[in-house]
Amino acid sequence: MKADILLGLQWGDEGKGKIVDVLAPKYDIVARFQGGPNAGHTLEFDGHKHVLRSIPSGVFAGGSRVNVIGNGVVLDPVLFRAEAEQLEADGVDLHSILKISKKAHLIMPTHRLLDAAGERAKGASKIGTTGKGIGPTYTDKVSRRGLRIGDTVQPDFDARYQSARDAHIETLEAFGASPAGTPEFAAMEKEWLDAIEYLRGYDLIDSEHFVNKELDGGRSILCEGAQGTMLDVDFGSYPFVTSSNTVAAGACTGLGLAPGRIGRVYGIFKAYCTRVGSGPFPTELFDETGATIRNIGHEYGAVTGRERRCGWLDLVALRYAVMINGATHLIMMKSDVLDGFDTIKVCTAYRMPDGSITTDFPFSVGNNAEGAGIAEPIYEELPGWRTVLSSARSEEELPEAFRNYVAYIEQKLGVPVAVISVGPDREETIIRH
């Protein structure tokens, strides 16, 4: 058996949660491999909406399916507890279907404070993080001073926690933001330590052994990405990125799967682009069209409620993402949002400052937090379909102009579109291959 991966090809929020929930019945295991509560994955079915942050989107698929939080994830016990308790209130028996890697790193209360202090210090050039402590936690991981889930059951855990916390407080003091001795911090710390106790009640495992043995035994795995390729720490628009490898290779390191164990790579993208936070975004629309896409697509962050920046589909960035991930199948989301447009623009190349034209994603497409242009998008304009897509349940019901649009994208990217999503609900999905 091979493990399949589903990951974002753009700047996150492509609809990963929805499609993992749709595909989960085909898999025995769903596993998260990176990121943390910066993710907000929305699932809709039976008239209800659920937003998952750290817990895999396979938890509603029922059966004996196991969900795994892999070693590449960073977990905030307080947010995990709130999310888990909500799921249990919704009738999900999480304790019996969730396993957590002992090697996943812990987000501490001081990591969140460091995230906020770092952003404040950057001023206008801030990254616009989700404020969940993601950067500082991965920094500690790479600096070899992080705390892991497996440490919570060791006798010296309290001492190790205190020593890590004290080091963070020293750094916060340098930022002029020391929380030491305040009642607010004491309350945060107590809530965190209580949540650690709650976390100990879960099945904490050596997940690299688990996933490999399950594959050996013929069980199937779907690896669920968070964020998107253009937020990858190596290949995204650095430094306006997240702090993990969001690309397919991240599933290998974030779960302990050798490259040869990977099967399909599902790359998911919206029929347009969005971005939350700062950083370059060549096809961003500042006009009425951008506002229309935002309103029709409800483009507001699932975690922070922030307005998402909106723009036309960027095939230069998408082709790059397909290459980096080795996407074998594409999944196209939110096409229904473009139903009302007479024509639809697609960026096929960038004009660079020296006048040259490139279709290969360059080293830099913008040089500041607003992403002020280095790369100027060159567009092709395609006919719109001006038909309501959301009622379609089979390919035959899709209008010809839309099918031509899909064929155009497939031809430009050289990869087939296997799934088309025409609405937020589980049912509003067309599986082609």
**Rounded to an integer, what distance in angstroms lies between the CA atom of residue 66 and that of residue 81?**
18
Catalytic residue among 13, 76, 140, 232: 13
Residue 380: which of 354, 402, 409 has the closest Cα? Answer: 409
Binding-site partner at residue 179 among ligand GDP, ligand IMO, Mg ion, none, CB < 5 to 8 Å by type: none
Please, are residues 330 and 418 in contact by the beta-carbon 8 Å criterion?
A: yes
Give the binding range for ligand IMO (CB under 6 A) out of 126-134, 168-176, 316-324, 376-384: 126-134
Q: Which is nearer to ligand GDP, 248 or 333 (CB)?
A: 333
Find the radius of gyration of the CA atoms of the chain. 22
**Rounded to an integer, what distance in angstroms lies between the CA atom of residue 68 and that of residue 60?**
14
Q: Which is nearer to ligand IMO, 13 or 151 (CB)?
A: 13
Please, are residues 30 and 57 in contact by the beta-carbon 8 Å criterion?
A: yes
Residue with tokens 């596993």: 31
User: Would you call 41 a catalytic residue per the annotation?
Assistant: yes
CB atoms within 10 A of CB 374: 18
Q: For ligand GDP, which residue has the nearest CB?
A: 42
User: Would you call 95 a catalytic residue per the annotation?
Assistant: no
Q: Per rule CB under 6 A, is residue 134 in the interface with ligand IMO?
A: yes
Q: Per rule CB under 5 A, is residue 302 in the interface with Mg ion?
A: yes
Q: Per rule CB under 6 A, is residue 277 in the interface with ligand GDP?
A: no
Please, are residues 136 and 118 in contact by the beta-carbon 8 Å criterion?
A: yes
Residue 226: CB minimum distance to Mg ion, A: 8
Burial of 74 (0-12, 13-18, 19+ CB in 10 A): buried
Give the binding range for ligand IMO (CB under 6 A) out of 101-109, 224-232, 284-292, 364-372: 224-232
SS3 262: strand
Q: Per rule CB under 6 A, is residue 130 in the interface with ligand IMO?
A: yes
Tell which positions 10-39 bind Mg ion, by CB under 5 A. 13
SS3 16: helix
**Contact map string, positions 405 to 424, toward ligand GDP, x by CB under 6 A:** ----------------xxxx
| Token pair of 108 as six digits | 């501490």
Give the binding range for ligand GDP (CB under 6 A) out of 29-37, 83-91, 109-117, 294-302: 294-302
Catalytic residue among 4, 28, 41, 336: 41
Catalytic residues: 13, 41
Interface ranges with Mg ion (CB under 5 A):
13, 40, 302
